[in-house]
Structures are given as structure tokens and as C-alpha cells.
Structure 1
Amino acid sequence: MQKSFLIILIVAIVGAFVLFQFAPTLPAYIAFVAGVIVTSLIFKLVPETSSSHATEEQYVGPTMTLYVGNLPYRVHEGEVKVLFGEFGPVNSVRLVRDRKTGRRKGFGFVEMSESGAQKAMVKLNDYSFQERTLKVREAKTQDSEAADRTGTDE
């Protein structure tokens, strides 16, 4: 919301300057208000293309959760979603943070379509991303970890 407001404000100021240049008899405040109104209308009419939009539909077919290791510490969920989105629909991205400091720990989990996850594992494991070599594996579930500890197969 804050980004939209700042963009509207900047465009309104630029619009007011342009209007004032073409109609110097028009008071500057009227040009500014006209710029705000026009920019607001444009933002309302153009659909939002943000990948984090709340109404975005979730993939409902078979999914797989991937472990993604050696992520850059400054990476954001949206960047990871775009990277993995090249291989199939992504339902969620969770980057793990340290509880005390709130800093990212350099790994996370991506839930996406099963077919896309298979492709992503092949293409993105050992892939150089923002100067880091990613490690991409199928995430272990708590059930598989329990089976590993007891030595039984399900």
C-alpha cells in the first residue's frame, strides 16, 4: 500500500509539472489535484500484477515440498518464488529465520506442483543463484524422519 501511495504521489507531481508547462495559466494546485485523480484512476483500472497478491489461486494438484539450502541471506520469498515458478506453480515459500535475531538462516522450503518440483530439483540443484550454489532436495517429512530413527520402512 505504501509503495502505491508513493508512486501515485511521484506521478502526480510529475503530471502537475507537465500540465503546468502546457497550461501556465492553470494554477499549480489544480494541476497537482488533476494529476492525483488521473493517477488514482489509472491504478484502479490496471490490475495488480504482484506475485504476492492475496487473491492468487493456490495449485490444487499433487504437491511436493522442496528443501532449498545455501540461499543468499538477503534473498526474499518473492525472489525464490519467481525462480521456482519457472518450473511450475508455487504454493508457498518459507525462508527460515533465527528466532532471536530474526535474520534469515540461508535455507527454506518451497511447496509447489509435484511435476514442477521434479524439474526444479534437476535444474536448480547446484545452480548458481546470486553468487551462491543452491542445494535443492525433497524435504523430509516428520513421518520419514521417525521411520529413519526406528529403522522401519512404511
Structure 2
Amino acid sequence: MSIYVGNISNQVEEADLKQVFSEYGSVKRVRVPVNRETGEKRGFAFVEMGTDAEEAAAIEGLLGIEWMGRSLKVNKAITRVDKDSSCRF
């Protein structure tokens, strides 16, 4: 149950996201990736919710809303496939 949250302000902290998403259910984890070289936030985050229903409610409720001067992009996160584990025939 992971949600991708894009187009977020660089001022957003994990606690801010947890507060907003907790209105839709239990928030298990929030992660705001940073650039390894500069330490700056990358403009997106991942939020893990407790259930699929809570995840769906958060996506529906927050998609496209304006928050901290930005229009949020909110959708189900896609699991990244490891490049080394590709199928070989």
C-alpha cells in the first residue's frame, strides 16, 4: 500500500505529509527522497497507508488539490524493477 506523491514543495517535511494523509486513514510510513549529492529534496514522496481502502481514499481525496502552492500528483506507486534481475531467454 504505497502512494506516489509528486509535485511537492521543497519545504514539505515528512510530518506535513503524515498529517495530511492521516485524514484518510493510518499512515505507516512517509519517505521524502533527497538528492545524494546535494541533499536537496527531489520534489516527490512516498506514503504507505494501512489498507488498500485507505490508500484509494487518499488518492481520490488528494489528487490535484493545491497544497503549499503546488497542484499534487497522487497515484499508486509502481514498484521499481531491479535492472539486474531482468529475464534472459
Per the TM superposition, whether the score is higher than 0.5 is: yes
Task: Report the equivalent of 2:57.
Answer: 119
Instruction: Identify which of 39, 42, 64 aligns with 1:105.
Output: 42
Stretches of 4+ aligned residues off by more than 2 angstroms: none
CA distance in 1, matches of 2:49, 2:64: 19
Could you say which structure has the higher strand fraction? 2
The equivalences for 1:56-135 within 5 A come to 64-113=1-50, 114-135=52-73
Higher helix share: 1
| Secondary structure in 2 matching 1:136 | strand
Q: Which residue of 2 aligns with 1:50?
A: none
Q: How far is 1:115 from its partner?
A: 1.2
Q: TM-score, with normalisation over the residues of structure 1?
A: 0.51
CA RMSD of aligned residues (A): 1.8
The structure showing larger relative contact order (alpha-carbon pairs under 8 Å, at least 6 residues apart) is 2
Long gaps (5+) in structure 1: 1-63
Q: Secondary structure at the match of 2:24?
A: coil
Matched with 2:74 is: 136
1:84 counterpart letter in structure 2: F
Shift of 1:142: 2.9
CA distance in 1, matches of 2:35, 2:55: 26
